[in-house]
Amino acid sequence: MLDLNDVALFVQVARQGSFAEAGRRLGLPPNTVSRRVQQLEDALGSRLLQRSTRKLSLTSAGEAFYQRCAAAVDGLLDAGQALASAGGEPSGLIRVAATADFFDFLPMEWVAEFLDAHPRVRIEFALSDARADLIAERIDVAFRGGELADSNYVSRRLPVSGNAGLVASPAYLDRRGAPATLAELATHDCVTGAASGERVAWKLLAPDGSEQEALVGGRFRGNTAQAQRRAALAGLGIALLPPALARLDLAAGRLLPVLPGHRRPGAGLSVLYPSRKHLPAAVSAFVAMVVEKLEGNAPAS
């Protein structure tokens, strides 16, 4: 008779691509995971995995067996988790993918509060401006700004204002003066993102709601919002920054608003999951914390 625990273990190994990663997620030593998969293969009389020093891969029999049993294992895990979560507490590892400057939007103190409230949870952040492959990189939850192009992930919009505003340092404005109209931006140094041409088109909403465009350029470009913020603080020009990133600098007077009636509407921030099924309680609790904090700290548009 097959041991259903070994079947569930095999499904995890197939998904993670290694005994070590499956063991890390399940709290088992890699050699124990390998031994139990071998027991399953012996019970079935068929090899399920091809083993090499570099990687594991499914055999044709392993692929067929995985396709037949993965959904059933997920159903059992979902049922067990639903029953356990009614009285249990979040636990386990959460792998979070986000942009390199994510902690400029999400204060580290919020993460510390969350970990204090959930002592059985661990969090691992994978920060990069490249968009993570949630399945291949074993990501539990990802935070992304802008329009979402992924159709295979479950997404949810978060309560963050996406309206970027123009800002500059007091030193820059003292030296160059403040533009009175959007057209005057063409005569100023502007801090922009990476672009192919000498000029970048900023499309902004005017106070009357009409869309206007300014072709801007400058001597500094940066491919992250944090780099552009620091350039603006250093007096290198006028930058177009998200409100969450500029809020503290504006409050402290390190940056000043420029043409405050003009805004660039943005797509805000979204949270993504690889699948709606079998969402760990720890992931749900972490996302709920982020939503609660953002709702309570969202700046005015």
- Rounded to an integer, what distance in angstroms lies between the CA atom of residue 99 and that of residue 129? 5
265-294 pLDDT, tens digit each: 765 678 888 776 667 889 989 988 988 887
Question: What is the pTM (predicted TM-score) of this model?
Answer: 0.54
The pLDDT, as a whole number, for residue 300 is 45
Q: What is the pLDDT of residues 200-246, one digit of tens each?
A: 999 898 888 889 999 999 999 998 888 899 999 999 999 998 876 78
CATH 3.40.190.290 fits 164-264, yes or no: yes
Alpha-carbon distances of 206 from 184, 203, 212, 217, rounded to whole Å:
14, 10, 7, 20
- The answer to whether 115 touches 121, Cβ cutoff 8 Å, is yes
Q: Give Cβ neighbours of residue 215 (< 8 Å, ≥ 6 apart).
A: 186, 199, 200, 201, 202
Q: How many beta carbons lie within 10 A of that of residue 97, not counting itself?
A: 24
- In terms of C-beta density within 10 A (0-12 exposed, 13-18 middle, 19 or more buried), how is residue 192 classed? buried
List the one residue out of 297, 178, 168, 173 whose CA is nearest residue 240: 168
In sequence order, which residues have a C-beta less than 8 Å from that of residue 20 and are 6 or more positions away?
A: 30
Angle at 290 between CA 286 and CA 291, to 5 degrees: 115
The predicted model gives 244-257 an average pLDDT of: 88
Highest mean pLDDT among 13-22, 86-95, 113-122, 284-293: 113-122
Tell whether domain 4-85 is in CATH 1.10.10.10: yes
Q: Are 178 and 298 in contact (CB under 8 A)?
A: no
Domain boundaries, the chain: 4-85, 92-160+268-297, 164-264
Decide if domain 92-160+268-297 falls under CATH 3.40.190.10.
Answer: yes
Q: 164-264: same fold as 92-160+268-297?
A: yes
